[in-house]
């Protein structure tokens, strides 16, 4: 597939299966999805954790990818409002899946439901590698305390300490994985999300040697921590349907940006400057901070791609302009747009609105 340059205004508007396709660099209007833009590409989605661990030993020791072992899996955090992380991750991943499939991508998932067992961390990494995906994305939410933690908030991407012992995993994560993680970080920042202010996170990136997934995965991987479920504001957004929708929009934006523009290069200049983690938040594979980092191998960095996601003002304006449609159609929130009756109308309307917002003109 030809890779096209994306201008600021890539609108991954995840209204069910409705996704806005990027306008090209020229002053062409934004286009509605044709369903073939990502044909031939595969994305592996890993909604972190699982609905049930019945019959499985979470403490079973498995390969951590660095010559040691770690627990098979954890139960994940629970938000302040009582929503388990596995459900938040699942809901967001299903919106992302629908969006990517509407563009022609093949989507492979680490688990098929939100009720049963999800597999050990090494099994998920193996499944991602065997899928031969163009990109794998592991979707999580963080936690720093059993109760409320008002001082710590924000999103981050977990980046593995380099080098990784496995040569294939090292090549994947020091190349496309790092590039895609930066693009996802940029999408989050452009959509108005604030980078995490804890656990050694540096501008939305956290370097860790204790997370097995990236060290075992032989395809480029982005490990997303959407927010801190111990923080009141982050938790409210993670719990709400509209908040999950916004996370899904941003994650889809990051994925599409990488798939259409990623070079597979190894831009590790920024990572080399990231400090070692110094704090240790609560629990789990996806929320415990690393205490050691390894300096990445030297490479010739390329310029970090500029963010291509719509900014938060554009997002808010788009949502506001869609409100009359919701009212006229008698819809109770954005989630009710996910039905056959409304998808075509919403796709055309959202495409026109985004073109207006980005100054490219309507279709």
Active site residues: 225
Location of structure tokens 């012992």: 165
d(CA 333, CA 270): 40
3-state class of 43 per DSSP? strand
Q: What angle do CA 63, 67, 70 make, to 5 degrees?
A: 40
d(CA 257, CA 259): 6
Location of structure tokens 């090292």: 170
Contact 199, 279 (CB under 8 A): yes
d(CA 57, CA 77): 18
How far CA 106 is from CA of 21, 37, 71, 249, 325, in Å, comes to: 17, 12, 31, 18, 31
For 117-140, b/e burial (b = at least 16 CB within 10 A) is ebbbbbebbbbbbebebbbbbbbb
Closest CA to 46 of 124, 126, 159, 163: 124
d(CA 77, CA 239): 12
d(CA 324, CA 294): 52
The tokens for 348 are 């055309």
d(CA 276, CA 207): 7
Contact 30, 12 (CB under 8 A): no
d(CA 256, CA 253): 5
């Amino acid at each position: 597939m030809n890779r096209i340059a994306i201008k600021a205004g890539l609108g991954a508007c995840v209204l069910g299966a409705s996704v806005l396709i990027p306008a090209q660099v020229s002053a062409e209007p934004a286009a509605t999805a044709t369903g073939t833009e990502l044909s031939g590409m595969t994305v592996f989605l890993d909604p972190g954790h699982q609905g049930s661990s019945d019959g499985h030993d979470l403490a079973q020791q498995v390969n951590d990818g660095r010559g040691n072992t770690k627990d098979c899996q954890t139960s994940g955090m629970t938000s302040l409002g009582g929503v388990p992380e596995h459900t938040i991750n699942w809901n967001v991943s299903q919106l992302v899946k629908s969006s990517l499939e509407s563009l022609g991508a093949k989507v492979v998932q680490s688990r098929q439901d939100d009720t049963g067992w999800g597999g050990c961390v090494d099994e998920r990494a193996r499944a991602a590698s065997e899928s031969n995906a163009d990109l794998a994305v592991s979707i999580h939410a963080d936690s720093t305390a059993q109760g409320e933690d008002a001082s710590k908030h924000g999103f981050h991407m977990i980046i593995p300490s380099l080098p990784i012992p496995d040569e294939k995993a090292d090549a994947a994560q020091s190349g496309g994985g790092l590039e895609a993680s930066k693009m996802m970080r940029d999408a989050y920042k452009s959509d108005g999300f604030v980078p995490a202010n804890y656990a050694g996170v540096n501008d939305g990136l956290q370097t860790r040697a204790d997370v097995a997934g990236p060290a075992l995965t032989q395809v480029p991987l982005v490990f997303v921590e959407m927010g801190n479920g111990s923080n009141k504001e982050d938790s409210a957004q993670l719990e709400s349907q509209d908040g999950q929708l916004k996370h899904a929009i941003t994650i889809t934006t990051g994925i599409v940006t990488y798939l259409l523009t990623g070079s597979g290069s190894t831009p590790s200049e920024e990572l080399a400057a990231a400090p070692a983690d110094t704090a240790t938040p609560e629990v789990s594979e996806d929320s415990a901070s690393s205490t050691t980092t390894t300096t990445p191998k030297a490479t010739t960095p390329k310029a970090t791609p500029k963010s291509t996601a719509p900014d938060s003002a554009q997002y808010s304006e788009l949502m506001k302009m869609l409100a009359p449609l919701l009212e006229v159609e008698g819809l109770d929130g954005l989630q009710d747009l996910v039905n056959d009756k409304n998808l075509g109308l919403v796709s055309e309307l959202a495409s026109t609105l985004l073109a207006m917002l980005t100054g490219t003109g309507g279709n």
